[in-house]
Every structure is written in structure tokens, then in C-alpha cells.
Amino acid sequence: MNYRYRINYSKKEGMRYTSNLDIHKMWERTFRRAKLPLAYSQGFHPQPKIQQASPLPLGFLSDFEIVDFFLEQEMDLSSLETALTNSLPFGISINSITQINLLEPALQTHTIASEYQVVFLEEFDAIKIIESIHVLISKETVIRVRRGKSYDLRPLILDLEIILENPIYLKMLLMSKDGATGRPEEVLSELNIPMELTRIIRKKIILANEVLDNKLGL
């Protein structure tokens, strides 16, 4: 019998340069260090039962990442959290842990959208950005080519606005479904903002069951 838990965590510091695949390893090793009874798949090459929600591109920070894992024993949430916290590498911190029904669909198939915040490392002309946002939003289609394939970026942008606080930042809500993922760097490229002059932070991942009480109208 397995027990399923969901961790909401932040990814900061040097860990932003750890890829999705390596984050998977990071969790496996954290569980081993914490001596938690992580469940493994059967077969010739047993794999730890860890599932991640929508992958976060290399270099992005995040306040809101989700991972599901399966344990062979049921554990109370607070001791689970303590054990993990003591074994995590610098830059990863747990926001919350909950127990999840085994029957819930896999996280990957369950993700709908991601919200990102884009902070500028250099001064940008807010007026110009507002104009280019306007142009982008008013287009019907925005055909782009990524890795040799062309696709329409426009329907993947659910929301895009500039927040005129000091300092200013962008807020984007992009589709993150399996096979239909809007990428912040693609949006930035449409806005003529070089990605290396920004810091991108994922603020939220929206899951399918949250959509009902969400006014997105997805």
C-alpha cells in the first residue's frame, strides 16, 4: 500500500540552475537522506515514485512548485516536513505538505496554467512595454517557431499585464498543459525584452480541479 503526498515548495538561489531532471534526483536523494520510505516502481530498473507538475525552465525562480511522491508508510505531516526540511539542499524550501488521494490524476496531466512574475534587472521604458503588450494582445495569432516547429503563442497567453509599482514588473498567466505550454521567454521575445536582463519567478501553478472556482473561464 502506498500513500501519496503533495509538496508545495520554492526553488531559489543556485537551485534555479538545476534542471527538472536533476530536481527529480534532488528529491530522491533528499528522501534517502531523510530516511523516508519512498516507494519505488517494480521491475528491472526500479524508479522512485515522484511526479512533478509542469517543468520549470532552467534559470527561473519559483515560489510555487508542486511535486507528488508516494511513501510505503503513512506518516504524519509535521514529522514528514521536519525530516525533509533537515535534508533539503540550500535554495529549496517547503511551503506546505498535504496528503492526497491515490486516485487523483497524475500531476503532469492535471496542470492548466502557470503565473509568472518578470522582474527587470535593468531599466526599461514602461511606456514602450505597455505598447508592445497592447500590440501582442490585440493580435489574433502569433506564430512562432521553437525547436524547428511552428506554433501559435497567442492562445497560450491567458493574461499579460504590466504592474506599475516601483520597480515595475510583468505578470503573465500562461497555459501549461501537456503539449500546450506557453513559455515566458517566448512572450518576452515578442515584447523585445532580452531574457538575460530579467528575472522570472513562477508565482503559481493552477491545477484542473481549481479551475471551477476560478474566473478564468477555461
Partner 1 sequence: MNQEKSLLNQLERILPLVEKPGRYVGGEYNSVVKNWDEVSTKIALVFPDIYDIGLSNLGLQILYENINQRGDCLAERAYSPWQDMEDLLRKNEIPLYSLETKTPLRDFDILGFTLPYETLYTNTLNLLNLSQIPIRSEKRGKEFPLIVAGGHATYNPEPMAPFIDAFLIGEGEEILLEVIDAYKEWKKEGLSKSELLLKISSIDGVYVPSLYDPQYNSDGTFLAVKTKNKNVPKKVTKRIMGKLPYAPTRFIVPSIGVVHNRIAVEIMRGCTRGCRFCHAGMINRPIRERTVQEIIHSIETGLENTGFEEVALLSLSSSDYTNVLELVEEISNKFSGKNLTISLPSLRIDSFSVDLMEKLKGSRQGGFTLAPEAASERMRKIINKPISEEMLLTTAFEIFKRGWHTLKLYFMIGHPSETLEDVAEIAALCKKVLAVGVKAIGRRAKVHAGVSTFVPKPHTPFQWVACDQQESIRQKQNLLREELKGPGLKFNWTDPKETIMEAWLSRGDRRLAEVIETAWKNGAKFDAWQDFKNYDIWMQAFREANLDPDFYVHRERSIDEVFPWDHIYPGVKKTYLKTEYLNSLSLRLRGDCREQCYACGITQTFNHLRKEDPGIVWKCPNISQPRSKNELSIPN
Burial (Cβ within 10 Å: 0-12, 13-18, ≥19) of residue 84: buried
Candidates 29-37, 99-107, 144-152, 162-170; binding stretch for partner 1 (CB under 8 A): 29-37
CA–CA distance, 8 with 63 (Å, rounded to integer) = 9
Q: Are strands 50-52 and 111-120 parallel, antiparallel or unpaired?
A: unpaired
For residue 202, which of 130, 111, 134, 100 has the smallest C-alpha distance?
111
Does position 119 interact with partner 1 (CB under 8 A)? The reply is no
For residue 6, which of 126, 99, 123 has the smallest C-alpha distance?
99
Does position 46 interact with partner 1 (CB under 8 A)? The reply is yes
Candidates 105-113, 145-153, 193-201, 205-213; binding stretch for partner 1 (CB under 8 A): 193-201
CB of 196 to partner 1, least distance (A): 4
**Continuous H helices in 102-183:** 126-138
Does position 35 interact with partner 1 (CB under 8 A)? The reply is yes
When the beta carbons of 84 and 174 are compared against partner 1, the nearer one is 84
Does position 128 interact with partner 1 (CB under 8 A)? The reply is no
Residue 150, strand partner residues: 145
Element (H, E) at 87: helix 77-87
Return the residue of 19, 98, 192, 209 that touches partner 1, per CB under 8 A.
19
When the beta carbons of 123 and 196 are compared against partner 1, the nearer one is 196
Return the residue of 1, 90, 103, 217 that touches partner 1, per CB under 8 A.
90
Does position 30 interact with partner 1 (CB under 8 A)? The reply is yes
Distance spanning both ends of the chain, measured CA to CA: 36
Name the site residues for partner 1 (rule: CB under 8 A). Answer: 13-15, 17-19, 21-22, 25-26, 28-33, 35, 40, 44-46, 58-59, 87, 89-91, 121, 195-197, 199
